[in-house]
Amino acid sequence: MKKRFALLLTFSLLILLSYFCFIHKSKKIENDLLSKVYASYIQEDMKWVKIKGFQGNNLSQTRTLILEGTAKNQAQRKKAERIANTIEGIHSVKNYITIPYQEPDLKTKMLIAEKEKPIYKLSVTKENGSKVVLIKGVVPNSKIHNQLIEKGKKLFGKVNVIDELEEKTGTPTDWEESAKLGLEKLSSLRYGHFEMINTEFNFQGYAQSEKSKLTLLDDLEKQLHNPYTGTYEIQVAPIKDLCQKEIHHLLSNNKIYFHYNSANIQKNSYPLLNSLAYTVKNTCLEELIVIEGHTDAKGKKAYNQKLSTKRANHVKNYLVQQGVPKNRIEAIGYGESRPIASNKTKKGKKRNRRIEFKIKILK
């Protein structure tokens, strides 16, 4: 029995040792491959190529190299991929290198006009924190026109979809499918823009996370049909900064007003609160919003404390009524304990009577 146990233990230790040796060797191979790629790009004066590493946890799963960066043109982009593919040991390359879109210069536009080649253009814009999605350009017929607008309304939800489409025959092949693809992928971004100019498909914007960015780039590469060529410029939005910036912008020139000596909100504050609710739902996706109520020092401290808490809760309840989840908002009253100006002047007291929004990252 002891002999069998000793043999089993020895066998287990050998397996464990082999595994760690394999992992160590895989890491060494990965580092060697990366060094070769770096050296190749330096030799070709292509330091602008960003090597993001290999896909997967180790080389036993994949040797797919991920490339990013910004190339001057399509030839440079393809050259970067070709160089990586020549390195022995790399099985495949995911090329996420972007090419900045440049508006054709006047000379180019004139040449196009001289050759009587019509320009077919369609663009869709989703702005950060805006309640408007603008769709403009051309479509082949009224049927596709209506389908595109209806799809936009379904994808973007309760926003104002502005229709500036014109119907024009002669659009390139698969124009409708490419337009629908652009709409669908744009709706998954925090904000962005895409446009089609003849058979060029240009897509840019800010994704929710690095993972969603890579998924989006993969989908665009796989789903965009010939003869369209895509240029993509996707970044990851700094979430907290965007959220705080949008809320600060809304409150910098506006204020939430209450009836005198009351927690009831005045009607002229509803548009501001509606905009705040929209921002929390669409921009502050990973944050907790803390609503703070403050008063001036007039009256008793206990009364001011109670009033500030009621006002903060009234604001919270209004935002919840507009569709903001309860677990995304907290309300707290500080009474007169945190003044931002002197309570000895009317102007100072007015500044101290306020509602503030603080941002915390959800864990």
Please indicate, yes or no, whether residues 312 and 356 belong to a single structural domain of this protein.
yes
Output the pLDDT for position 23: 46
Q: What is the CATH number of the domain that holds 216?
A: 3.40.1520.20
Domain for residue 185, yes or no? yes
Q: How far apart are CA 83 and CA 138, in angstroms?
A: 40
Backbone angles phi, psi at 96, to 5 degrees: -105, 20
Output the pLDDT for position 104: 73
Instruction: Find the mean pLDDT for residues 348-361.
Output: 88
Give Cα separations from 59 to 19, 28, 185, 291, 342 (angstroms).
13, 10, 31, 49, 65
Please indicate, yes or no, whether residues 148 and 232 belong to a single structural domain of this protein.
yes
Please indicate, yes or no, whether residues 212 and 303 belong to a single structural domain of this protein.
no
Q: Coil, helix or strand for 21?
A: helix
Please indicate, yes or no, whether residues 218 and 246 belong to a single structural domain of this protein.
no
pLDDT in tens, 51-109: 888 876 554 445 788 889 898 888 899 999 999 888 888 888 888 888 887 777 777 77
Domain for residue 7, yes or no? no
Q: Which residues constitute the domain of residue 32?
A: 24-95
Please indicate, yes or no, whether residues 271 and 224 belong to a single structural domain of this protein.
no
pLDDT in tens, 141-159: 999 999 999 998 888 876 7
Please indicate, yes or no, whether residues 199 and 217 belong to a single structural domain of this protein.
yes
Domain for residue 6, yes or no? no
Please indicate, yes or no, whether residues 244 and 232 belong to a single structural domain of this protein.
no
pLDDT in tens, 221-255: 899 988 899 899 998 866 556 778 888 888 888 89
- Whether the model clears a pTM of 0.95, i.e. scores above it, the answer is no
Please indicate, yes or no, whether residues 221 and 286 belong to a single structural domain of this protein.
no
Domain stops at, among 63, 95, 127: 95
pLDDT in tens, 165-217: 999 888 998 999 999 999 999 988 878 999 999 999 999 998 877 888 888 99
Output the pLDDT for position 165: 92
